[in-house]
Structure 1
Amino acid sequence: MRNGTILAIDDDEDILQLVSGALKSHGFEVITAKTGQEGLSLASTQNPDLIILDIELPDNDGIQVCQEIRRSNLAPIIFLTVRNAETDVVLGLGVGADNYMTKPFSIPELVARVEATLRREKIYAERKKSHKVIEIGELTIDLSAHEAHKSGQSIDLTPTEFQLLKTLAEHTGQALSRDQLLDTVWQLKADDVYTRTVDVHIGRLRKKIEDDPKRPRYIVTVPGLGYKMRS
């Protein structure tokens, strides 16, 4: 029984074979692409459960590929790249990626991140069997349908953004540290890069739910700690 379908996009054949072999040994089906254009085509036609994407591709920049995928596909995206500057991490997360790993990388860690991400997706699907809705101001968060609305209008959220919104909403009025959010949403331990991941996703989420992201009504910053959802 397959655990899910993974699309790996990288122009390095050795990397593709390494990633593909490791994931297949853990029960995943893996499809590969060596160019951005081929990756976009497979993302559209094969409907993968998760996408592993390099930034430096021969035809298209991986950042552009990620943006294009996000226009029609909400599958989680993990960047796997040699670019390790904080600005690159922030940019990658800012355009819609859910996670970011740098080369050289640990195969066990990559597999663990893939499994953790897809485990969250499975939990979302199972929760459709029950029905729970959280209402905060003009926001309506349907936990069973994995949907969010503002003033009746659907909000287009990635799985990670929804999990982040859900976590904050379930603890309305309670300050949550970045470490707590990393552990709950990403199943990661804190370090400087991962902590920045929280800030980037909060920024993206604010743009989608706030009237004025610079003066948030819902997700407010708790100085020196993290964030909280205001009731």
Structure 2
Amino acid sequence: MNNNTILLVEDDREISEMLQSYLTAENFEVLCAYDGREACRIFDQTQVQLVLLDLMIPKISGMEVMQYIRKSSYVPIMILSAKDSEGDKTLGLGLGADDYITKPFSLAELLARIKANLRRTTQYDAAAAPAPVVLTAGEVTMNLSDYTVSKGGAPLELTAKEFEILKLFLQNPKKVYTKEQIYALVWKDAYYGDENAVNVHISRLRNKLEDDSRNPKYVLTVWGIGYKLGDAL
């Protein structure tokens, strides 16, 4: 098993075989699952670096597969779906997906987004921290050595992107970030003009951090510009 192993969950065998062939030619190892139960079984038995997940799959839905994975792993999950409504994208990103690509898509764009998502995990693996690095704000504590976050001593379960957004704010508490800057720094990719990904992750992060997400004190909106860490923390 190499360190570029992808779990592809797609019940359309023609699409699955096409993607497997293309990604294999790009030096990825691709494991194929054709239903939700098989996807969960392969994930439990194999170390994968990224999951490509269709939502409309038999036995267990793609959303359920994603929730199952997120119980134990922050591995990047990219949704591949023919559903292109804002509601579907919001739900998918909100449940823990790192990216959402609407079918039909170009193989070149898919490859670029896969590489962008993998760069984050590669950087984590390459970075050797000799001692725990802890960031704090108010009751929130982030440990960069084991990628844990807690509030008032209670653990917070954040997705990989939520973790990266919070880390960005904690490391630069006085800086205001535009949505374009957040996307570039967290997604490690060019900004395509779609604010939905940033908006959804900020909203989900607030729901987990704030006592009242309608009156946040940790992640503040700077109207007309972007977001920043709360001043009073």
Question: What TM-score does the superposition give when structure 1 sets the normalisation length?
Answer: 0.92
Q: Which amino acid in 2 is paired with 1:189?
A: A
Aligned length: 230
Amino acid aligned to 1:98: D
Rounded Cα–Cα distance in structure 1 between residues aligned with 2:85 and 2:188: 22
Contact 1:124-1:146 at 8 Å conserved across structures: no
Structure 2: distance between partners of 1:130 and 1:118 = 23
SS of the equivalent of 1:220 reads: strand
Contact persistence 2:120–2:188 (CA under 8 A): no
2:177 equivalent in structure 1? 176
Equivalents in 2 of 1:166, 1:3: separation in Å? Answer: 25
How far apart are residue 58 of structure 1 and its match? Answer: 2.7
Task: Report what 1:190 is aligned to.
Answer: 191
TM-superposed CA distance for 1:83, in Å, is: 0.8
Query: Identity of paired residues, percent?
Result: 38
Partner of 1:9: 9
Query: Which stretches in structure 2 are left out of the alignment for 5+ residues?
Result: none
2:26 alignment partner in structure 1: 26
In structure 2, C-alpha distance between the alignment counterparts of 1:219 and 1:210, rounded to whole Å: 8
Query: What are the Cα deviations for residues 50-101 of structure 1, in whole angstroms up to 9, with x where unaligned?
Result: 1100011133332222222222332111000111111111111111111000
Partner SS for 2:149:
strand
Tell me whether 1:158 sits opposite 2:188 in the alignment. no
Root-mean-square deviation (Å)? 1.8
More displaced 10-residue stretch of structure 1: 210-219 or 8-17: 210-219
CA deviation after TM superposition for structure 1 residue 172, in Å: 0.9
Kept in 1, the 8 Å contact 2:116–2:189? The answer is no
Q: What is the CA-CA distance between 1:133 and the residue it aligns to?
A: 2.1
Residues 2 and 27 in structure 1, CA contact (< 8 A), matched pair in contact too: no
Residues 144/128 of structure 1: CA separation in 2 closer, same or farther (3 Å cut): farther
Partner Cα distance (1:119, 1:190) in 2? 16
Q: Secondary structure at the match of 1:129?
A: coil
Task: Report how far residue 103 of structure 1 moved.
Answer: 0.8
| Equivalent in the alignment of 2:90 | 90
> Matches of 2:165 and 2:20 in 1, distance apart?
29
1: CA distance, partners of 2:198 / 2:108: 23
User: Post-superposition shift, 1:191?
Assistant: 4.0
Could you tell me which runs of 5 or more consecutive residues in structure 1 were left unpaired when the two chains were aligned.
none
Which residue identity is paired with 1:46?
T
CA contact 2:3–2:49 (8 Å) conserved in 1:
no
Q: Which amino acid aligns with 1:229?
A: L
Distance 2:178 2:10 in 1: 35
Query: Residue 146 of structure 1 aligns to which amino acid in structure 2?
Result: Y
Once the two structures are TM-superposed, the CA of residue 25 in structure 1 deviates from its matched residue by: 2.0
TM-score normalised by structure 2 residue count:
0.91
User: Do 2:210 and 2:216's aligned partners in 1 also have CA atoms closer than 8 Å?
Assistant: yes
1:130, CA displacement in angstroms? 4.3
CA distance in 2, matches of 1:120, 1:49: 11
